[in-house]
Amino acid sequence: MNTIEMKDIHFSYTEKEEILKGINITIDERSTAIIGQNGAGKTTFVKLLKGLLRPNSGKILLNGTDIADMTVAALAKDIGLIFQNPNDQIFKNTVLSEVMFGPLQMGMSKAQAEESARKALEMVGLMNMEKINPYDLGLSDRKLVSIAAIVAMDTKVIIFDEPTIAQDYMGKERIKKIMKDLRAQGKIVISILHDMDFVAETFERAIVFAKGNVLLDGDVKTVFSQKDVLEEAYLEQPSTAKLCHELGYGEIFLTPEEFIAMKQKEA
């Protein structure tokens, strides 16, 4: 089983302000959503996981091995990170070569890389766009290209930074399915998100960041039950949970489906 342990991580960009103030988290096979107000330190946290930033103090262990001695490029074999803005990573002039870039960097042969790339493109639903220039695609499809580019690298861990921004309903549903498929393949899926309904419908665990600390950490249902603590972090409950709360139910439900199922059982 894959795990990432973070032990007492402190981090600051400048001497004046500490951004992460002693984070202790063990990421396990559960899909994990990271939520929190803008500026809470979420992106900083995933950059540390990825080795792009190094902690001032504390340890990060990937399956028991300290990542401090590994270069970012070496870590790329184990941890994939999809950047918030696809334009930051796309540079090839066809979708296929873009998606093959990562696998080739990891030392796969051309044939292997192509196979891996095609599989990834199929997973994100861009099978017949292989020859298109990524910049001719709309932002939402370009985002999917950037996801495929990381999926093709077949890493144990895949991290998404705010993947649902600028996505319509269809786009969100596709991303949701990609995440669930990756989870089913036994990968660790971590994502920074602002869309609470999306979190409730897709993830098993939620970690709430506030001002550089972990405010809440637990399975989604437990986390989203705590309206008061969430408000302290300027977060909302998912819509269905809000409804349950307003109706004065003791137990909350996270998705419309759960809610309806409960109602039908009652009736």
Partner 1 sequence: MKSMSLYEEKHSFLNKLSPITKMIYVVAAILIPAFAGEKMLAVGFMIFSMLLLMHSKVIRRTFPILGVSGFVVLTVLIIQGLFRAGNETVVLDMGPVAFYKEGLLFALGIAINVFNIILCFCVLVLSTKPSDMVEELVRKGFSPRIGYVFTSLFQLIPQMTDRMSTITDAQKSRGMETEGSLMIRMKAFLPLISPVIMSSFIDTKERAIALEVRGFNAKNKKTFLNESTKIPVDNVIIIILVVGIVCSIGWRIMTWLR
Ligand X SMILES: Nc1ncnc2c1ncn2[C@@H]1O[C@H](COP(=O)(O)OP(=O)(O)O)[C@@H](O)[C@H]1O
Helix/strand/coil (H/E/C) assignment for every residue in the chain:
CCCEEEEEEEECCCCCCCCEEEEEEEECCCCEEEEECCCCCHHHHHHHHCCCCCCCEEEEEECCEEHHHCCHHHHCCCEEEECCCHHHCCCCCCHHHHHHHHHHHCCCCHHHHHHHHHHHHHHHCCHHHCCCCHHHCCHHHHHHHHHHHHHCCCCCEEEEECCCCCCCHHHHHHHHHHHHHHHHCCCEEEEECCCHHHHHHHCCEEEEEECCEEEEEEEHHHHHHCHHHHHHCCCCCCHHHHHHHHCCCCCCCCCHHHHHHHHHHHC
Residues between 96 and 155 that touch partner 1 (CB under 8 A): 101-102, 105-106, 135, 149-150, 153
Q: Whose Cβ is closer to partner 1: residue 73's or residue 165's?
A: 73
* Residue 249: contacted member of ligand X, Mg ion, partner 1, none (CB under 5 to 8 Å, by partner type): none
Q: How far is the CB of 235 from partner 1 (least distance, A)?
A: 26
Residues between 35 and 54 that touch Mg ion (CB under 5 A): 43
Q: Whose Cβ is closer to partner 1: residue 81's or residue 129's?
A: 81
Q: Which of 4, 36, 79, 86 binds ligand X (CB under 6 A)?
A: 36
- Per CB under 6 A, does 13 bind ligand X? yes
Residue nearest Mg ion, CB atom distance: 43
Instruction: Select the span of 21-29, 33-41, 80-88, 185-193 touching partner 1 (CB under 8 A).
Output: 80-88
* Residue 4: contacted member of Mg ion, partner 1, ligand X, none (CB under 5 to 8 Å, by partner type): none
Closest CA to 97 of 161, 139, 152, 179: 152
Q: How far is the CB of 247 from ligand X (least distance, A)?
A: 32
Q: How far is the CB of 49 from partner 1 (least distance, A)?
A: 11
Contacts with partner 1, residue ranges (CB under 8 A): 47, 50, 52, 71-73, 76-77, 80-81, 83, 85, 87-91, 101-102, 105-106, 135, 149-150, 153
Binding positions for ligand X, rule: CB under 6 A: 13-14, 19, 36, 38-44
